[in-house]
Structure 1
């Protein structure tokens, strides 16, 4: 790849938005007919269009059929929820404003044509350009992220603890629990919880991972680095206090 700046990269807003769509299992749809929560009813085309399977008796279905074509008439909302239990589990929210159109020969689906895409993360909200959104690809690990993080947290808590050796000791001061919060092709994010606050620390991979086999190698590389590092003084002090 390139230099360290490339290695430490994070997904773009467009890529993050597409990843939220890929991983989400449910969405909320607000239209003139009201608001409905749909479970397992959407899929995503290669260009980012959301395809919805709506019940025929749905008020939203009527709104989709009757709304003027091309005029914004509905909003889709997706929540990105951390798969591992942590405080404030919503990592991001994605809103798509736009209009419905027919899709499929049998008419059992509608396609959502977005006219505005907004991604909100803890750092703030950003409007994602429609061309960037259509051209972006979801993170290659997005569909497997929940399984990967859950396995790391449940089966390898010792590895998570070892990875804290790569974290600045000041960020660990007062920590009461550390959990894996997110992983993407560029790195792993840890959630550091304190008694009354929390913070996130990102551990970048030395090169991006495009599949699970590469992710395994990147994680081993981080753990090797962590093994070569000493235990952070702040964490040592907490352990000593807890042993008293």
Structure 2
């Protein structure tokens, strides 16, 4: 049985980020941070000691690739000429305080497109030669495309001291041990492609999901309404409904559609989506 959760509007002006408060299964805060860290979404490294006196050029402080070790350390691939790399090398093994900010933007066109942010704070050190081959392989596994060949690169280790996430589920701190023990969502690597496919090729099916919402259903199923797949994880899918009859211009609400059972891969997800659309069509 599919439980759609409680649709909830954003602010009265329609400018706020809708955040449903649903009694459904959900990824933990640690899992959400771990998923973002191991994803390819935008991240910026802020090192107070390396802040330039003038505005930095684009790409300053941006890791090219990142991965997480079994102990929960974040491995970063950065240009060898970057301030972060130079500072870590000069520190000669001493710890350098740093904060990595990750911004999660929906891969589909939708109002309030920033889905959330995560901050991972800790201490940077350069990776020693004895660990470099193994950690380089880990980075390559997580980032098969590889970095630009015409740039010199350096591996840095970020030992996590604390983390924080502020996203569609809410705002929560994350302890280092919880971050290390968490696993990224199994659908994260495929999420962007899946959402783009649903938005581009299954618009009619997406709007039929209104039938599972009860009272808002007829209004959000009407012509002119938009039903955009905003996120998907192992537990379910979140859809943002906008352009609803009887609501202020620009107002949106989200609804969460929970899968009967958590999915572990794309094959199971397709089966769950088919059941979801079939249930909506029967309404």
Q: Kindly indicate whether residue 138 of structure 2 is the aligned counterpart of residue 138 of structure 1.
A: no
Equivalent-residue separation in structure 2 for 1:222 and 1:19 (angstroms): 25
Q: Could you list the runs of 5+ residues in structure 2 that have no partner in the other structure?
A: 1-22, 133-153, 244-248
- The DSSP-based 3-state class of the residue aligned with 2:38 is helix
Distance 1:125 1:171, change over 3 A: farther
Q: 2:226 aligns with which of 165, 177, 183?
A: 177
The answer for the alignment partner of 2:162 in structure 1 is 116
Segments of 4+ in structure 1 off by > 6 A?
Answer: none
Greater strand content: 1
Q: Could you list the runs of 5+ residues in structure 1 that have no partner in the other structure?
A: 1-6, 230-244
Q: 2:84 aligns with which of 56, 60, 73?
A: 60
What value does the CA root-mean-square deviation take over the aligned residues? 2.4
The answer for the alignment partner of 1:225 in structure 2 is 279
Q: CA deviation at 1:197?
A: 1.9
Q: Kindly indicate whether residue 206 of structure 2 is the aligned counterpart of residue 189 of structure 1.
A: no
Greater helix content: 1
The answer for the alignment partner of 1:99 in structure 2 is 123
Q: 2:115 touches 2:168 (CA, 8 Å); kept in 1?
A: yes
The answer for the alignment partner of 1:199 in structure 2 is 253
Matched pairs, number = 223
Distance 1:24 1:161, change over 3 A: same
Equivalent-residue separation in structure 1 for 2:194 and 2:173 (angstroms): 29
**1:79-132 alpha-carbon deviations (Å, 9 max, x no partner):** 111111111111110101111122252763011111010101145421111111
